[in-house]
Amino acid sequence: MKRKILAFVLSMAMAATVLGGCGTVGGNSSKQSEESKDAGDSGTGQEDNGDTREDGAGTEENNADGGTDGKTYKIGICQQLEHQALDAATEGFKDALVEKLGEGNVKFDYQNAQGEQANCATIATKFVNGNVDLIMANATTALQACAAATADIPIVGTSVTDFVEAGVVDSNDKPGRNVTGTSDLAPIDQQIDLLTELVPDAKKVGILYCSAEANSVFQAEKAEEALDKKGLSYERFTVSDSNDIQQVVTNAVAASDVLYIPTDNTIANNMEGVKNVTGPAGIPIICGEENMCAGGGLATLSISYYNIGYNAGVMAYEILTEGKNPGEMPIQYADEVTKKYNAEVAEALKMEMPAEMEAIGKEE
C-alpha cells in the first residue's frame, strides 16, 4: 500500500513539473510573439498605393532625447508634390523626430498629393480618420487642406511663405489655432537687391509665378514694393498650371530684361521648361530658392529647406512630448540665407559673378 501511495505522489510531482514547464514555455512564446509583432509593425512598409510610405522601427531602447513612456507616435506627412526643395524639408523633419524620439518611437505615414488639391484633402481626411498624433503639412495647399480637415490634431507646416496669407493662423506671432510651423520666406527686398546688383542695366523686370498659389501672389506683391523703391518697371506673368508655362515664359522673355521667380511650387517643378525658353533668349532669372536656381536660374538668395524642415520637426517634438500648444508657438523663419549662383548659366550668359557668391554644385 505504501508503495502505491509513493508511486501516486511521484506521478503527481512529475505531472506538476511538466505542467510548470509548459507554463514557462508558453510564457516565453507569448513574449516572443509580442516582440515579433512589435518588430513587424515597426518595419518600413508599403500601403495600397505607390505614393504612400510608412516608416518607423524598433523598440523604445533607441530613444535619444528622453522617455516616451512606451508610446509610438503616429505622424502623418502630407507633401503637396515631389520636388527637391519639398523633399529636403520632409527629410529634415523626419530626421529631427527620429533623432529626438528614437527610431522606434515614431512611425511616419508619408503621402504625396502629386500637386492635386483634391488629393491633399483626401490625405488629410485619411490622417484624421486614422487618428494620427500630429500632421506635418509640406507646402501651402497641403497645409490648407489639413487645417480644413481638423481643428483638434496638431499641425506643423513647412515650406509655406506666409501662414496668415494661407488663411491657417490668426497671426504669425501667435497662431491661435492648432497650426504652427516654419516659413520658407527669404527676404524679398534682398533678392531684389541681388537682382539689381547682378543685372544693373535692367529696365523691365518680369515676375513669373503661378496665380493659383496664394503665397506666390504674396511674394509677387512684396517684390513689386521692392522694385518700386528701386524705380524699376515690372510686369506680372502668371500661369494657372504647368500647361501654360511655355507660352507665358515666351511672353515674359519678350517683354523683360530679367525675370524674378519667387518660391513657387508649380514653376519649381517645371524649371526645365522655363530654362528651355530663357536660355536661348539670354534672359537671366533670379529665383526664390536654390533648387529652382540649380534648375535653370542665374542666382538666388537661398535658404535651406532641409533646415526649415528640421526646425519644424523640433517644433513637433515639443508639441508631442512637452505639451506645447501650437496656437502659442510663433511661426519660425530660416536661420540664415546665402547668395548662390548657377555656374553653368552664368557661363552661358557670359557673366562674371561676385567672388563672395557660392557656386551651386561646387565642392567647398
pLDDT at 74 over 70: yes
pLDDT(357) > 90: yes
Overall average pLDDT of the 284-302 stretch: 94
Question: What fold, for 188-302+338-359?
Answer: Rossmann fold (3.40.50)
Q: In the CATH hierarchy, which top-level class contains the domain 45-184+305-328?
A: alpha beta
pLDDT at 362: 55
Residue 20 confidence (pLDDT): 37
Question: Residues 248-263: what's their mean pLDDT?
Answer: 97
Lowest-pLDDT choice from 56-60, 237-241, 327-331: 56-60
What is the average per-residue pLDDT within 61-88?
79
Higher pLDDT residue, 53 or 271?
A: 271
What DSSP designation does 61 have?
A: G
162's grid cell: 506666409
Is 246's pLDDT higher than 80? Answer: yes
Q: Is the pTM value of this prediction over 0.85?
A: no
**Least confident span in 250-259, 296-305, 320-329:** 296-305
Q: What is the pLDDT of residue 170?
A: 98
Domain with CATH 3.40.50.2300 in the chain: 45-184+305-328, 188-302+338-359
pLDDT tens track for 169-184: 999 999 999 999 999 9
Q: 254 or 20: whose pLDDT is higher?
A: 254
State the pLDDT at residue 214: 87
Long-range contacts of range 223-228, CB-CB < 8 Å, 24 or more positions apart? 223/188, 223/191, 223/192, 223/260, 223/262, 225/189, 226/188, 226/189, 226/191, 226/192, 226/193, 227/192
Residue 195 has pLDDT above 90, yes or no: yes
Q: Which of 205, 251, 203 is nearest to 225 (CA)?
A: 205
pLDDT of residue 335: 84
How is 136-177 classified by DSSP, letter by letter? EEESHHHHHHHHHH-SSS-EEEEEES-TTTTTS-S-SSS--S
The residues, ordered by sequence, that sit 6+ positions from 95 with a Cβ below 8 Å of its Cβ are 310, 313
**How far does Cα 241 stand from its chain's mean position?**
21
Phi-psi region of 159 (alpha: psi -120 to 50; beta: other; left: phi over 0): left
- C-alpha cell at position 302: 537661398
What is the rounded distance in angstroms from the CA atom of residue 142 to the CA atom of residue 80?
5
Per DSSP, 332 falls in state: B
pLDDT of residue 10: 40
Of residues 345 and 60, which shows the higher confidence score?
345
Predicted pLDDT at 17:
37
